[in-house]
Amino acid sequence: MASHEGLPLDGEPRVVSEAPVKVRRVPLPLAGNARFQWRIVTVLEALSVCRGRSATVEQLHTLVWALTDDENALVLKQVWEDPRDPRRPFRGYVPRLLETLRVAHVEVLVEQLANGRQRLTEKGAALLEAVERDGIVIGVGERLLSGLAPISSTEMWRRLGERAQ
Amino acid sequence: MSFRFEEVMLHVRTATRETHYRAVFAPGLNIIEAPNSWGKSTLVQSLVYGLGLEGAFSASHLSPLGEAMSSVIDLSDQREAVVESSVTLTLLNDHGTHLRSRRYARSLAYESSLVQTWAADSLDALSGAEERDFYVREPGAASHELGFHRLLEDFIGLELPTVPGFNGDEVKLYLEVLLPLFYVEQKYGWAGLAPRVPTHYRIRSPYRRAAEYVLGLRNLERLKETDRLRAKLAGLQEEWATTGRDLNAVLVRQGWSLAHPLDEAVASGERGLPEIGILRESQFIDAADEIGRMRSEAQAMLGAPPPTAGVRTAIAQHELRETEVEAGRLAGRLRLHREAAARAAADVDVLRSRQRDLESDRARLVDVRKLERLGSEIGAASLEDAHCPTCAQDLDAQQVATGLVLDVSANLTLLAAEKATLDRMTSSAQRDVAMAEGAADSLAAQLGELRARIRSLKDELSGPSGAPSVAEIERRIVLGERARVGEIELAQAHEHLERMQRAAVSMARVRDRLQLLRSEAESGADAQTVDRLRSRFVAALRRFGLRSLPVGEITIGSESLLPEHDGFELTFDIRHGLSASDAIRTKWAYYVALTRTVNEIDGAKPLGVLIMDEPRQQEAEMTSVRALYQELAAAAAGSQVIVASSAPAHELDDLLSGLPAHRLPGGGTHMFSAD
């Protein structure tokens, strides 16, 4: 590499290194909660704690949101224990839930009922059991939801605030 | 509630002579039998023309009658120009009243819009009856006293309703819209499967409205009631929004807020209306209490002269420091509320953007479903070949081990659930925006007062010490004025709230009523009537020998009231695999079934006639045509049936064997040639 002097901005000539510059790609690990497999497992976890292993999409958004991050789980816990003003409902939203559900449907881990509710299948339950057996995903959210099971729609919205229809 | 034709007379005058043709109809089945070009269609069209109903087939005001009635006529020895022509009908209604009407097709003296009429209790008395003139094919013909269709409506005993039109208005269900359900003309009438109802009367879904009316379905009343309620709901929503804006303006002016957010559910619920007050130090202070406090304080001040600035120096300095601290604190809180409002508004934007994405996804899926209904197999074929329809790559069998994917309908259900979630979240975020902005506005008003107070205190501290305290005088004036205006505005705010409450209660009632109407639509006598129509239709199809599709696959749709195959309406240009002859059989079956059903059902409104011009189309087999005449004879038990046929007499002898039919054989080569 040819050496040269930088512009004397402050009266002193700038020293420029002659060392060659190398650029290379350094792969960064994808965060666990951004991985598809993990997202699917959170959906299965959420469904497994619901009454009848089924939930509405709206319920799933909030439950999966709580599983996405420990802080989210703590917020949900706080709201759950201190029921909301029904006019100011609390909701979580997971932007990629729909996509996750579609893949879960294809793999028959989750099925959609005629009324639009989502239900855990036997295959989904077996997969979840295997995951839990290996102790792969145990966090604040999982422990919180396990403690709330079985969660019914009525109870959930009573605590999180249901907007009058 | 029906009528029948007793007689028709066509009259033509040329420069040299007059000629006419007269046909007398009987109750029941009537067969006009004559060879091609004899004028059967002109005769049948003259029935429609005499009633002034040719608007059922065209918006044109030109005469629909053949040239023999409108321009030139071939008489036995020569062709002559028509100078005058007219159609004279004699009708009979259920009450035994005879009505004779004459309408000119060509005349130097009379416009074709004029209809001369005579009414009497017997045929013989008609000749001595008083003439009354009416108009037709002009605005008001169906509603004004001198409109012929109003007379005809009364004569038949119909009470034609108004139905929803385009642009949300109400339009009368004209007789012209009903006629195509009981009349099949030769030229275009057999071309499609569904009746060709006119669309130029600005009626929304004219076929369905006409069919509902003649079948006596309650749906028509429900529809009108639904439209009325929706209009009322829109008015109430507008009132709610306008009053809400007025209320908000008062709250902002006074720096007040509501104790809890107000929405329709809250306003119409048991919790009642929110209190109006001031948010201070996270404490909610009732506005009335605050006004009372200001008034008492102002009155107490009035009792004593204002102190001089010098006396108040220490107090004013202390007050200035306190006020500046308080103003700084309020400004901080105001910023937090503004930030909260901005965050909630950003949430609303994001949620709306997501809703738009969902909506466009949904629209695409609906289009895909439409393509599937039209028979497209692109998607299915791709999936069968383990080929991704989105990325156009081969699917890895391991990734789609089951081969199952969400079908379009399931996907739409999933999107609907997602949309419901987003709707709720958006609504919640909007309320958060409103609350944060309300609180911020209230704080801003308080901050404005504190800043004015700071200015007064600074003026006082920098002024002469012997002068009256400016801050104190201003405080007295401001307090008194604020109490006075506050009382007026508080009364106004309560009025707005009460008005909003009344609107909310009314909206809740209207919504309940709409819900009830929706649930009523799915039950009751309407379903039985449609079942009757459906069973008559299917039985007729079976008798007519439908072949190209299994009879069980064709039905009458509950919503469309039209023949359907595989959930698809068989309309004018869609035959869905039916052969041409089976399309004719389907059409026969539809007309026969409709006429028989309206004859049989209580509450139905039959016109009383069924007219078919040359029903044997597409060289239909004799066994089918025989079955048709048998069905027509059955329909003729409750309605007058008029059929024009060019079949030879011996063929008609065979077809009508054993059936009670009144035959009107046409002599000569043309209806006017024998005269």
Above 50 in pLDDT, residue B400?
no
Beta bridge pairs of residue B464: none
pLDDT digits (tens, 9 = 90+) for B328-338: 999 999 999 89
pLDDT value of position B559: 77
Gap between the Cα atoms of B482 and B477, Å rounded: 8
Residue B76: inside a domain: yes
Q: What is the pLDDT of residue B401?
A: 43
Q: Is the pLDDT of residue B674 over 60?
A: no
Of the pLDDT bands very low, low, confident and very high (cuts 50, 70, 90), residue B260 is confident
Which pLDDT score, from 0 to 100, does residue B522 have?
Answer: 60
CB-count exposure of residue B21 (10 Å: 0-12, 13-18, 19+):
buried
Residues of chain B contacting residue A98, judged by C-beta atoms under 8 Å apart? 414-415, 418
Q: In Å, how far is B246's CA from the nearest CA of chain A?
A: 23
Which residues of chain B are within 8 Å of residue A107 when distances are taken between CB atoms? 401-402
Which among A93, A101, A108 has the least Cβ separation from residue B404? A108
User: Is the pLDDT score of B392 beyond 70?
Assistant: no
Residue B427 touches chain A, beta carbons under 8 Å: yes
Q: Which residues of A touch B414 (CB under 8 A)?
A: 57, 98, 101-102, 112, 116
pLDDT at residue B138, rounded to an integer: 84
Residue B421 forms contact with A (CB below 8 Å): yes
Test B432 with A112 for CB contact under 8 angstroms: no
B272 interfaces chain A, CB cutoff of 8 Å = no
Q: Is the pLDDT of residue B648 over 80?
A: yes
| Residue B474 lies inside a defined structural domain of this protein | no
Mean pLDDT of A109-133: 89
Q: Do A98 and B414 touch (CB under 8 A)?
A: yes
As for how many domains chain B has, the answer is 1
- Min Cα distance A124 → chain B (Å) is 14
Tokens encoding A51:
């009454």
What range defines the domain where residue B618 resides?
Answer: 3-217+524-665
Question: B529 lies in a domain?
Answer: yes
- Whether B400 and A106 lie within 8 Å, measured CB to CB: yes
Q: Is residue B203 part of a domain?
A: yes
For residue B550, what pLDDT is reported? 80
Q: Which of B260, B354, B417 sits opposite A57 (nearest CB)?
A: B417
In three state form, how does the secondary structure of B566-620 look? CCEECCCCCCCCCCHHHHHHHHHHHHHHHHHHHHHCCCCCCCCEEEEECCCCCCC
CB B359 within 8 A of CB B365: no
Which residue out of B414, B426, B511 would a mutagenesis test of the A interface target, given it has the greatest number of A Cβ atoms within 10 Å?
Answer: B414
- Residues in chain A whose Cβ is within 8 Å of chain B: 56-58, 61, 85, 87-89, 91, 93, 95, 97-98, 101-102, 105-108, 112, 114, 116, 163-165
Position B459 in a domain: no
CATH number of the domain that B50 lies in? 3.40.50.300
Tokens of B446: 């308080």
Q: What is the pLDDT of residues B473-507, one digit of tens each?
A: 888 888 888 889 999 999 999 999 999 989 988 99
**Share above pLDDT 70 across residues of chain B, in percent, rounded to a whole number:** 91
Residue B10's CB is within 10 A of a number of other CB atoms, namely 25
Average pLDDT over residues A3-28: 64
Mean pLDDT, residues B16-22: 89
- The domain spans of chain A are 37-160
Q: Specify the DSSP element, H or E, that contains B425.
A: helix B408-462
Query: CA separation (Å) from B633 to B82, B107, B189?
Result: 38, 39, 21
Question: Contact B417/A61, CB-based, under 8 Å?
Answer: no
Contact B406 A106 (CB under 8 A): yes
Q: Is the pLDDT of residue B565 over 80?
A: no
Residue B279 has pLDDT above 80, yes or no: no
Residue B475, pLDDT score: 80
Q: In this complex, do A112 and B413 lie within 8 Å of one another by their Cβ atoms?
A: yes
ipTM > 0.95, yes or no: no
Average pLDDT, chain B: 84
Burial class (CB in 10 A: 0-12, 13-18, 19+), B408: middle
First-to-last alpha carbon distance for chain B, in angstroms, is 37
Of A62-76, B5-19, B279-293, which range is least confident? B279-293
Q: Please, what's the b/e burial string for B379-398 (b: 16 or more CB within 10 A of its CB; e: otherwise)? A: beeebeeeeeeeeeeebeee
d(CA A149, CA A138): 16
Question: What is d(CA B419, CA B399) in angstroms, rounded to the nearest whole number?
Answer: 28
**B354–A87 C-beta distance less than 8 A:** no
**Measured distance CA(B484)–CA(B477) in Å, rounded:** 11
Using the beta-carbon criterion (under 8 Å), do A116 and B425 form an inter-chain contact? no
Chain A residues in contact with B511 (beta carbon < 8 A): none
Backbone φ, ψ for residue B130 (5° rounding):
-75, 140
Choose from B421, B426, B512 for mutation: most chain A CBs within 10 A. Answer: B421
Regarding predicted confidence, which is higher, B407 or B112? B112
Beta carbons within 10 angstroms of residue B108's beta carbon: 7
Give the pLDDT band of residue B364 (cuts 50, 70, 90). confident
- What gap in Å lies between CA A41 and CA B261, rounded to an integer? 39
Contacts of A120 (CB under 8 A, 6+ apart): A44, A47, A48, A53, A54, A109, A110, A128
**Inter-axis angle of helices B525-544 and B580-600, to 10 degrees?**
140
Per DSSP, the residues of B474-527 read HHHHHHHHHHHHHHHHHHHHHHHHHHHHHHHHHHHHHHHHHHHHHHHHTSSHHH
Three-state DSSP class for B288?
helix
B453, B444, B449, B450: which is closest to B332 by C-alpha?
A: B444
Residue B416 near residue A118 (C-beta atoms within 8 A): no
Output the pLDDT for position A1: 38
User: For the CA atoms of B402, B408, B411, B412, what is the dihedral angle to 10 degrees?
Assistant: -160
Does the CB of B431 have a partner CB in chain A at under 8 Å?
A: yes
What pLDDT is attached to residue A2?
38
Mean pLDDT of all residues in B102-113: 89
**Residue B73, token pair as written in the block:** 């006529």
CB B319 within 8 A of CB B474: no
- Whether the pLDDT of residue B569 is over 60: the answer is yes
Q: How far apart are CA B214 and CA B195, in angstroms?
A: 14
pTM: 0.53
Q: Is B260 in Cβ contact with A98 (below 8 Å)? A: no
Residue B493 in contact with residue B256, Cβ under 8 Å? Answer: yes
- Residue B400 touches partner A, C-beta closer than 8 Å: yes
Three-state DSSP at B280 gives strand
The nearest CA of chain A is from the CA of B255 a distance in Å of 23
Question: Is residue B586 included in any domain, yes or no?
Answer: yes
> Shortest CB distance from A89 goes to which of B405, B411, B424?
B424
Q: Which is more confidently placed, B572 or B299?
A: B299
Nearest to A58 among B402, B410, B421 (CB): B421
- Greater model confidence, B528 or A119: A119
Tell me which chain A residues have a C-beta less than 8 angstroms from the C-beta of B420. 57-58
Q: In what order do the strands lie in the sheet with A54-55?
A: A54-55, A118-120, A110-112
Decide which of A165 and B142 is more confident: B142
Contact B418 A57 (CB under 8 A): yes
Contacts of A108 (CB under 8 A, 6+ apart): A121, A123, A124, B402, B404
pLDDT for B673 equals 72
pLDDT at B618: 67
CA distance B515 to chain A (A): 13
> Which residues in chain A have Cβ-Cβ distances shorter than 8 Å to B416?
116
Task: Report the sign of the C-alpha dihedral through residues B164, B166, B168, B169, in that order.
Answer: negative
Contacts of B402 in chain A (CB under 8 A): 106-108
